[in-house]
């Protein structure tokens, strides 16, 4: 069985803080990125924007694709599932930061260097190249990316 999810690395630029990257804390306490399963009739892009809005309260626009992650996991009822997650670089355009408490523990903005440090320290290994890819697309060279 194949399962497709989508999400993104959300960023914003503000006069007082400059460029900031959004990270979530998932229900397991790990640093992560907003993402979720595709619903019937949706494109992967629509899925990414819907999931970001649901999990973080923010609206955004896709700037460009970052990369995909593929892995397998075993589900009780479905057996082996081939999971494919599409990630996009997303510019925040509206809404207000509000964690979807049913899904995640929290959501915050960070300076790019701090976002990278937190990802490396407390994030999922397979998200390293997604966050690094987003930082590169934003024109940043973070040491260790």
Count CB atoms within 10 A of the CB of residue 19: 16
- Indicate whether 144 belongs to any domain: no
Cα-based torsion angle of the residue sequence 53, 107, 98, 4 in order, rounded to the nearest 10 degrees: 20
pLDDT at residue number 98: 87
Report whether pLDDT(145) > 60.
no
- Indicate whether 67 belongs to any domain: yes
Name the domain count of the chain. 1
- Indicate whether 145 belongs to any domain: no
pLDDT at residue number 92: 97
- Indicate whether 38 belongs to any domain: yes
- Indicate whether 142 belongs to any domain: no
- The C-alpha atoms of residue 103 and residue 113 are separated, in whole angstroms, by 26
- Indicate whether 56 belongs to any domain: yes
- The C-alpha atoms of residue 26 and residue 30 are separated, in whole angstroms, by 5
pLDDT tens, position by position, 87-121? 999 999 999 888 888 888 899 999 999 999 999 99
- The C-alpha atoms of residue 56 and residue 50 are separated, in whole angstroms, by 10
**Mean pLDDT calculated for residue range 65-93:** 95
* CATH code, domain with 43: 3.90.79.10
* Closest alpha carbon to 92 in 123, 138, 32, 26: 138
- Indicate whether 105 belongs to any domain: yes
Report whether pLDDT(19) > 90.
yes
What number of H helices and E strands is found in the chain? Answer: 3, 7
Whole-number Cα distances in Å, 18 to 1, 76, 108, 112: 43, 45, 15, 10
- Indicate whether 94 belongs to any domain: yes
Domain with 125 in it: 2-137
């Amino acid at each position: 069985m194949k399962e497709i999810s989508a999400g993104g690395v959300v960023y914003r630029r503000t006069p007082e803080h400059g460029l900031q990257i959004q990270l979530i804390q998932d229900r397991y306490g790990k640093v992560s990125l907003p993402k979720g399963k595709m619903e019937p009739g949706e494109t992967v892009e629509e899925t990414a924007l819907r999931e970001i809005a649901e999990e973080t309260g923010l609206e955004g626009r896709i700037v460009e694709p970052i990369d995909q992650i593929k892995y397998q996991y075993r589900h009780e009822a479905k057996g082996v599932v081939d999971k494919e997650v599409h990630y996009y670089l997303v510019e925040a355009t509206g809404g207000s930061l509000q964690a979807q408490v049913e899904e995640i523990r929290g959501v915050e903005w960070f300076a790019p260097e701090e976002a990278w440090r937190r990802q490396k320290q407390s994030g999922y290994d397979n998200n390293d190249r997604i966050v690094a890819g987003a930082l590169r697309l934003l024109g940043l060279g973070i040491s260790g990316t």
